[in-house]
Amino acid sequence: MAVSFGTGRRLARGAVLASVLLGGQALALAPEHETRRLMLATEEAVVAEKWGEAGEYLNRLQQLKGEKPLDYHFYRGRVMLQSSHLNEAQSALETYVTRAGAEGTHYQESLKLITDIEKARKESALAPQGTGERERVAVIEPAGDGRVASLRKLYLADSDREALTLHINSLLELAGWRRDQTVVRLDRPADVEYRLGTQGSEIQIQEIRRGEDGRVMRSTEPMSVFGINPRVEWRCETAISTCWVYDPRDGSRLFQLALNRDQAQEIADTLGHLIRTVQAPSDS
């Protein structure tokens, strides 16, 4: 059973363009070379303040297997901040600072941007009530059509379903759970990760667990959205350094995430809106 992760059409368009530019020959680079090429393109787009292009290159980088370069997290933070998705921007920038350290090329700028995000949140909290203004974060609400439109623009997606799938996978990439919370090695993959895709009226949930012996176990579970409540619950337990997102079908634990309340809430809200979108027969 083939599973669509919402990238087929965009990749197909890219393949056609590459064929035209190369006179009918499609060039397939090895992942490490393609990663470097897309990183260079991302850097040039950010410098030129072409945020849509930068977002497209980052989305393509996200689909590649293997560890991402350090600068990937910095540029993702820049693009998310430009789009006013403050929580995800902060998570990406904090990942860069943690991994790169004080020797990182963008270390100082990342710290300044994190401070800017903090100021933006304070200004939003102090804004007069009743003005209709609120902090624009990557939280998808039932009436958040404008937010989904923003995500479609950010990810250059053809549908709400595709935009939400790309977005929740981006959030899940940052929220992986690690067994050892004392020394977090972000240059290594998390011990528990998730990835979502959709097909028809189902959401495909892939779980990746890495054992202490290095063995990797993968499992995929279909979630039929028919008749389930799109309100998704979440909870964080400080004592065990874990946040949980609960299965809306039966209330059991669905996602085991790192201890970050903002990330857990965004993932739960985005999953809820993805369920609602897949339930809608008009979405494609």
Q: Which residue has the tokens 């909290």?
A: 125
What's residue 21's pLDDT?
Answer: 38
Q: What phi and psi, each to the nearest 5 degrees, are found at residue 36?
A: -65, -40
- Contact status, residue 283 vs residue 165, Cβ threshold 8 Å: no
156 CB neighbour count, 10 Å cutoff? 16
133 compared with 219, residue with greater pLDDT: 219
Q: State pLDDT tens for residues 105-158.
A: 999 999 999 998 888 877 766 655 443 333 333 333 333 557 788 888 888 888
> Which burial class, exposed, middle or buried, applies to 71 when counting CB atoms under 10 A from its CB (0-12, 13-18, 19+)?
middle
User: pTM above the 0.85 mark?
Assistant: no
Q: What phi and psi, each to the nearest 5 degrees, are found at residue 19?
A: -65, -40
Distance from the first to the final alpha carbon of the chain: 18
- Contact status, residue 267 vs residue 257, Cβ threshold 8 Å: yes
pLDDT of 192 higher than 70: yes
Q: Which residue has the tokens 């400080």?
A: 238
The CA R_g of the chain, rounded to the nearest whole Å, is 19
What's residue 41's pLDDT?
Answer: 93
Query: What strand order describes the sheet that includes 216-224?
Result: 192-199, 202-210, 216-224
Q: State pLDDT tens for residues 235-281.
A: 998 878 899 999 998 888 999 999 888 889 999 999 999 999 999 86
**Cα 239 from Cα 53, distance rounded (Å):** 42
Helix (H, G, I), strand (E, B) or coil at 185: coil
